[in-house]
Amino acid sequence: MTKRSTWQTPWSYREGWIVVGGLAILGIVWQAFLPSLKAQIPRWPGNLILGLLFISILLGIHFFSKKSAFHKWLSSVPAAVTSAAFYCGLAILMGIIPQHQQSPSLIINLTGLNQLTNSWLFVLANVYFLSSLGLATLKRLIPFKLKNTGYVLNHLGLWIALTAAALGSSDLQRLSMNCQEGQPEWRATNQTGQVIELPIAIELLNFSIDEYPPKLTLIDNKTGKVVTEGKKNQYFSVAEAPFQLLSYKVEVEKLLGEAGLIGNRFERVNEIGSPPAAQLKVTHTKTRETANSWVSSGSFRQQPYAFKISSEHSIVMLPPEPQKYQSAIRILTRDGQQLETTLEVNKPFKLGGWKLYQLSYDTEMGKWSTLSVIELVRDPWIPAVYLGIFMLLAGTLFLFRDGTKKRKEQL
Amino acid sequence: MGWINFEGYVVITLFFWLASVGSLFLRSTNKSIQKYLPSLLALGGILSLSLFIIVLWTKIDRPPMRTLGETRLWYSLLLPAIGLVSFARWKYKWLLAYSLFMGGLFIVINYLNPETHDKSLMPALQSVWFIPHVIVYMFAYALLAASSLVALKAIYQNYCNKDWQALPSLADNFVYLGFSFLTMGLLFGALWAKEAWGHYWTWDPKETWAFITWTAYLIYIHHRYKHLKRNEQAMWILLIAFALLLVCWFGVNYLPTAQNSVHTYSN
Ligand code: HEM
């Protein structure tokens, strides 16, 4: 191999790393010394114009500077590898430095490493990556050959998904709305905390939670911590009874979904904030001694109730975990139309350009919550992102097939 | 509780796999025994472990794919399965032995370190995407782990000045398959996140590390495409990529960014 000096054509990795270094310095300096020039994608239609401009530049380079060393290099594997490594390096920083919060380090705050996705560094890395990927795609897209189908699906798909996601980020709206039972609400807050009035109102008709059966566990009377020694499982659902906790056999004699303490036992009651309770029979496996008492998880209204089985240990009931929570809502539009539906986690509801999600509720109140937090999301660029994603999914099948086939020919 | 009779399955599975490794190095005059016995024994262990997973699944009434311990369980199933298939295809004894060893190691870790396996599955995980997403990821991880075993072996052989030229192309086979599963897993995850959390990508720590892992293997594939002869460099890229994968898989919970993650489910 003959030695090639830097910037002598054809360019390769060395130039790639120099470009990465240059962009990194540029990004950091820009961020630190020109903080007023924020790295922000313009809103519609600015982002569309920006996108078209980017495509035109790439097409221009592809058609009009075919032979240039710059084009050859930017559409080559060394540029792909160095730009991917740059992106990967930034992602590692993002994966180590907590994001979107002040950092104790002044340097991190100043250079924007604590909010990398909004920093110039990230923008420049993206531009390098997408330029390289775009030109590599065009190389085999125009003119198109059938044998390049897999290549085009992978590369063009990724380019479309990433470009659309980046450009669309400024048009993405995520609002959260606090809905109280029986009170139509039309104001929502966006992610920066601004209150926004919507053309629709949402009225929470009913919020409900289905719960898993409560779990029992053993705690240490002194520390209040769950006892783990010598056991593989610390938690048992009441539905699994009878079961063995250390040297005790635990049986559930009575289970009440909503109960209140009356004297020293629990009775079924029908009041808001009544927690579940269970009457347990505990038998010591060696001495055969038995004891009988109640446990209850407690709620925002009632104290938890523990069963002290020895001087060291007590059995306690944990608050039941939600299996499913849902909001029955009525949507009211300005022109007087009404619509009723139910929102549930993983089952959003589409309305115009919006999607409505069940986000959360008053966890303190649990199943008696009369508050439901609903998220409203509008992302007009999503069809383009999904187009890219589905092209990529189709592309993985080609990789699956061709990857091994090509190897086989060489073996 | 799922682990009630885990011990029994552990013993049977480990017995099969040990016997399989033993029979790999058995010198027998009977050619067909030498040919099929290791595979059959390995398969026996795989079946017994599969049975356990099925029993566990029905018992806890939800897919056992949530906690670290449960994913380890899948790993200890899929790694030997991949080892067995590639043994049938390429006849690398050491690969089968390694994968059985790794699978066995994971089982032993699970046995010594069982975690809580409770029945509840939080609402965000109750989705049609859950099972495909996790299974595809487990496959990807197992294949990519196999590729890094090959890389380790190659680097070791190189160090000992032994011939290792056939190994990189075996690693490639695993990486291509593994990477297509990895990409699927990533994309299924994005589609699911849109349904569950309203946005397909939020640079949450787990997502960030999944992306890092993905780019690392992307770099490997492109490096291989362009420089098929630079084997040694390639093997090192593969090891670094796997180190990043391990961070994504185990390490995320221990990083300073972890408290912001919506993806850490185990308590
Ligand atoms: C889903 C992601 C990707 C996959 C699955 C993928 C896969 C591949 C494969 C299999 C090849 C070999 C082509 C062949 O065998 O004919 C290749 C080549 C190439 N890829 Fe990618 N790639 C991806 C992303 C990227 C990215 C992000 C870049 C650039 C930043 C890139 C740039 C290139 C280049 C420059 C070549 C060489 C093309 C040539 O010289 O003709 N790829 N890619």
Q: Is the pLDDT of residue B251 over 80?
A: no
Nearest by CB to A212, from B119, B175, B216: name it.
Answer: B119
CB atoms B225 and A87 under 8 Å: no
pLDDT of residue A47: 92
Residues A324 and B126 sit within 8 Å (Cβ to Cβ):
yes
pLDDT of residue B261: 57
Express as a percent the part of chain A with pLDDT over 90.
Answer: 55
Whole-number Å distance between alpha carbons of A80 and A67 = 19
Whole-number Å distance between alpha carbons of B245 and B181 = 14
Tell me the per-residue pLDDT of A301-315, one tens digit each, with 9 for 90 and over.
889 999 999 888 899
Whole-number Å distance between alpha carbons of A24 and A18 = 10
Whole-number Å distance between alpha carbons of B45 and B104 = 10
pLDDT of residue A404: 59
Among residues B172, B214, B212, B223, the alpha carbon closest in space to that of A77 is found at B223
Residues B10 and B17 sit within 8 Å (Cβ to Cβ):
no
Q: Is the pLDDT of residue B232 over 90?
A: no
From ligand 1's centre to the CA of A144, what distance in Å?
16
Q: Is the pLDDT of residue A209 over 80?
A: yes
Nearest by CB to B184, from A99, A174, A396: name it.
Answer: A396
Helix (H) or strand (E) holding A391: helix A382-410
SS3 B88: helix
Whole-number Å distance between alpha carbons of B139 and A410 = 25
pLDDT of residue B68: 66
| Prediction pTM value | 0.85
Chain B residues touching residue A375 (CB < 8 angstroms): 198
Q: Among the atoms of ligand 1, which is closest to the Cα of residue A130? A: 30
Confidence class for position A228, pLDDT limits 50, 70, 90:
low
Q: Is the pLDDT of residue A109 over 60?
A: yes
From ligand 1's centre to the CA of A151, what distance in Å?
7
**Tokens representing residue A55 in the block:** 């495509």
ipTM of the complex: 0.88
From ligand 1's centre to the CA of B226, what distance in Å?
10
Enter the DSSP assignment of A171: T
CB atoms B172 and A407 under 8 Å: yes
Tell me the per-residue pLDDT of A232-272, one tens digit each, with 9 for 90 and over.
567 888 887 788 887 889 999 999 999 998 888 899 998 88
- Of all residues in chain A, the one with the smallest CA distance to B117 is A233
* Cα distances (Å, whole numbers) of residue B92 to A235, B15, B89, B234: 44, 21, 9, 21
Enter the DSSP assignment of A320: P
**Tokens representing residue A202 in the block:** 């949402």
- Of all residues in chain A, the one with the smallest CA distance to B187 is A389
* Cα distances (Å, whole numbers) of residue B224 to A11, B169, B251: 19, 10, 28
From ligand 1's centre to the CA of A33, what distance in Å?
37
Buried b (16+ CB within 10 A) or exposed e, B123-133: bbbbbebbebb
User: Across A223-362, where does the E strand assignment appear?
Assistant: 236-237, 243-245, 248-256, 259-262, 265-268, 277-284, 290-296, 307-308, 313-317, 322-333, 338-344, 349-351, 354-361
Residues lining ligand 1, CB < 6 A? A 75-77, 80, 83-84, 129, 132-133, 136, 139-140, 151, 154-155, 158, 392, 399; B 183, 218, 221-222, 225
